[in-house]
């Protein structure tokens, strides 16, 4: 999902950066608030960021014969709300842009938008909806994390299509081409990300009940 350095026209870079900046700023304020109001959740907050750090470093093979990576943003979005992951996503993407030449500074706004904003918001929204209609915790987490991952990659494909319309078939034509690469490759990886997020949530359900209760993931008095 990394749009490479210099691979978006300057106007697009500015627009995506302007769209992402307020969410990242709000997320930073939320992080500060969580650290102040719920100091015992600090370590879990750091761990949510760490999970995104690990997963986005793992480039996995897909049945399409290409490689791509999960995003790891679903877990933190479910636990702390989506805007917090805009901050974590920015940190991960900056690390990769500066040290790995993956993504870039000019495309940072666009990449934060797909990985730090669209993915986490889709995860958070789906989690809430599935829980509301009676889905269990593991199932809700699985659907939220895997579809959030998938949404990030579809966003990248659409961002590229807007910037590079096909001369013959326009934006729709080039969207089909980019989705063909990103979305297809991502299907099994999104499933893997969903499963890994459930693994971590299962561990949290077992050992971090106090935090999950204070974050309203588990009901007070519930035995998971």
Partner 1 sequence: MSLLRNNTFLMVLVALIVIVPLALPIAESMEAPFSGADDQAEGVIAQVAPDYKPWFSSIWEPPSGEIESLLFALQAALGTGVLAYYIGLRRGMAKAKDEA
Site residues (CB under 8 A) for partner 1, limited to 48-107: 49-68, 95-102, 104-106
The minimum distance between CB 209 and partner 1, in angstroms, equals: 8
- We find the least distance from the C-beta atom of residue 211 to partner 1, in angstroms, to be 8
Q: What is the nearest approach in angstroms of partner 1 to the Cβ of residue 109?
A: 13
Please, which residue, 65 or 134, has the CB nearer to partner 1? Answer: 65
- Which window, 18-26, 27-35, 119-127, 166-174, contacts partner 1 (CB under 8 A)? 166-174
Contact set for partner 1, span 117-156 (CB under 8 A)? 136, 138-139, 142, 156
- 26 vs 62, which CB is nearer to partner 1? 62
CA–CA gap between residue 66 and residue 223 (Å, rounded): 42
Which residues, numbered 12-41, are part of the site for partner 1 (CB under 8 A)?
Answer: none
Of the candidate spans 5-13, 15-23, 28-36, 118-126, the one that interacts with partner 1 by CB under 8 A turns out to be 5-13
CB of 62 to partner 1, least distance (A): 6
Long-range own/partner contacts, residues 211-217 (CB < 8 A, 24 or more apart): 211/40, 211/41, 211/44, 214/38, 214/40, 214/41, 215/38, 215/41, 215/79, 215/80, 217/78, 217/79, 217/137
Residue 217 Cβ, how far from partner 1 at the closest point, in Å?
14
Provide CB contacts within 8 A for 30, sequence distance 6+. 80, 81, 83, 84, 87
> For residue 206, what are the contacts with CB-CB under 8 A and spacing of at least 6?
224
Interface pick for partner 1 out of 172, 207, 219, 222 (rule CB under 8 A)? 207
Instruction: Pick the closest to residue 163 from 8, 1, 5 (CA basis).
Output: 8
How far is Cα 121 from Cα 198, in angstroms, rounded to an integer? 18
């Amino acid at each position: 999902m990394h749009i490479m350095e210099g691979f978006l026209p300057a106007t697009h870079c500015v627009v995506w950066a302007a769209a992402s900046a307020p969410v990242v700023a709000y997320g930073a304020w939320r992080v500060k608030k969580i650290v102040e109001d719920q100091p015992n959740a600090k370590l879990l907050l750091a761990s949510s960021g760490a999970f995104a750090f690990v997963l986005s470093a793992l480039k996995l093979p897909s049945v399409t014969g290409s490689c791509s990576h999960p995003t790891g943003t679903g877990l933190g979005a479910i636990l702390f709300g989506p805007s917090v992951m805009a901050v974590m996503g920015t940190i991960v993407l900056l690390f990769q842009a500066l040290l790995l030449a993956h993504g870039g500074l000019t495309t940072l706004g666009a990449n934060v938008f797909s990985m730090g904003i669209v993915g986490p918001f889709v995860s958070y929204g789906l989690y809430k909806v599935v829980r509301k209609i009676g889905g269990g915790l593991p199932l809700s987490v699985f659907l939220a994390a895997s579809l959030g991952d998938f949404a990030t990659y579809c966003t990248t494909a659409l961002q590229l299509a807007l910037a590079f319309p096909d001369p013959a078939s326009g934006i729709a034509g080039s969207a089909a081409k980019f989705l063909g690469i990103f979305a297809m490759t991502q299907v099994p990886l999104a499933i893997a990300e969903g499963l890994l997020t459930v693994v971590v949530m299962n561990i949290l359900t077992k050992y971090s009940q106090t935090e999950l209760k204070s974050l309203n993931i588990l009901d007070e008095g519930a035995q998971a």
